[in-house]
Homo-oligomer: A and B are copies of this chain.
Amino acid sequence: MFFEGSEKKIEVTVIAQAPSLRSLGKTFWQEIVACANAEILSVISNADCDAYLLSESSLFVWERRFLMLTCGTTTLADAALAFIDKVGESAVEFACYQRKNEYLSHLQSSSFDEDLFRLREKITGNAYRIGHLDSHHHYVFCTDKPCYGVLEDTTSELLMYHIRGEAADYLRSTGQSAQGVRQLLRLEDGFPGFEFDDFLFEPFGYSVNGIKGDRYITIHITPQETSSYVSFETNLDLTLYPQPVFANLLQILDPGSWDVIGFNAGRDTKGYPPHLCLGSCSLSSEQGYNIEFSHYQQMCHEVLIPEKL
């Protein structure tokens, strides 16, 4: 029943002289996605963006930028390398490759170090691990070319582990529906004006993309009892958003621990459950991009249930 929910992520911005990434078309992106051992399930589009729901997470494509998240044992570094080969390294303005804390890293087809070695054969940049190896940690590689436009962007990620309570029970139940999960997550209320595209996996698991103009949200739920993981990510500026998005999700899903990763994003823990912030880190890229990582743990003692093997 184990499934590695935690994602790898690649975000790339191309230079103004490069062809529009959207104009490359679905076949181009199908090939890129296939390099990661994933496939496209569906797509929604608006004037700014194409949002693909994948068999294992999501792909968003704007004119000059794309963002791809994949989970499980996908090989996202292969997809990133294929993209660089297709468009040429000189067309890449900025690239950032991340790997989040994995439950069972030894089941992955490569380590971050191996991914990094291969990426550096194509493109230069700096890489860091943030957080201790025996606790939640995060790997990030960013190219070191000068670039300016991307630095105004903000990205906020909330990664939740060991969800509990009624919502977790529902997400593990056989009677759930996509509409039921939308209601549970209060998507329509929380993100008015967004268009959503979601998918309920068998026996369970849920993914949703939402877009409104050039803004996106994406949520991926792996509810498995002993290795649950839910990720939320958005390029909305949550410090200006009228709702406490992270606090609401934490209240609904009641995770035992969670990480917050921000790229040029503010930090606001108001409304979080009582917690200990075990560690946090602030890191600036060469271009002035500010990356923040914080690892939170609910302030409670857990009676652990042995898992029989």
Contact = CB atoms under 8 A, between A and B. Distances in A.
Report the 7 A-B pairs with minimum CB-CB distance, sorted nearest first. Answer: A281-B304, A106-B106, A128-B306, A279-B302, A127-B309, A103-B133, A279-B304
Interface in A90-118: 101, 103-106, 108, 111-113, 116
Given A104-B133, A116-B309, A139-B309, 10 more contacts: A128-B308, A133-B227, A134-B227, A135-B135, A276-B297, A276-B299, A277-B301, A278-B297, A280-B304, A293-B304
Given A113-B309, A307-B129, A103 B134 contact: yes
Interface in A270-301: 276-281, 283, 293, 297, 299, 301
Contacts of A246: none
A65 interface: no
A130 interface: yes
Contact of A257 (B106, B134, B226, B293): B134
B304 A130 contact: yes
Contacts of A112: 309
A281 B116 CA distance: 38
Nearest to A4: B133
Nearest to A108: B106
B281 A301 contact: no
A228 to B, nearest CB: 10
Nearest to A306: B128
A42 to B, nearest CB: 30
A303 interface: yes
Contacts of A113: 309
A161 interface: yes
A280 B135 CA distance: 17
A95 to B, nearest CB: 16
Contacts of A281: 303-306
A299 B299 CA distance: 10
A222 to B, nearest CB: 12
Nearest to A111: B106
Interface in A204-226: 226
Contacts of A133: 103-104, 226-227
Given A126-B308, A127-B309, A162 B280 contact: no
A131 interface: yes
Given A278-B297, A280-B303, A303-B280, A135 B257 contact: yes
A298 to B, nearest CB: 9
Contacts of A130: 304, 306-307
Nearest to A307: B129
A8 interface: no
A301 B283 contact: no
A226 B104 CA distance: 20
A124 to B, nearest CB: 13
23 contacts: A103-B133, A106-B111, A112-B309, A113-B309, A126-B308, A127-B309, A128-B306, A128-B308, A129-B306, A130-B306, A131-B304, A132-B304, A133-B226, A133-B227, A134-B227, A134-B257, A276-B301, A278-B297, A278-B301, A278-B302, A279-B301, A280-B304, A297-B297
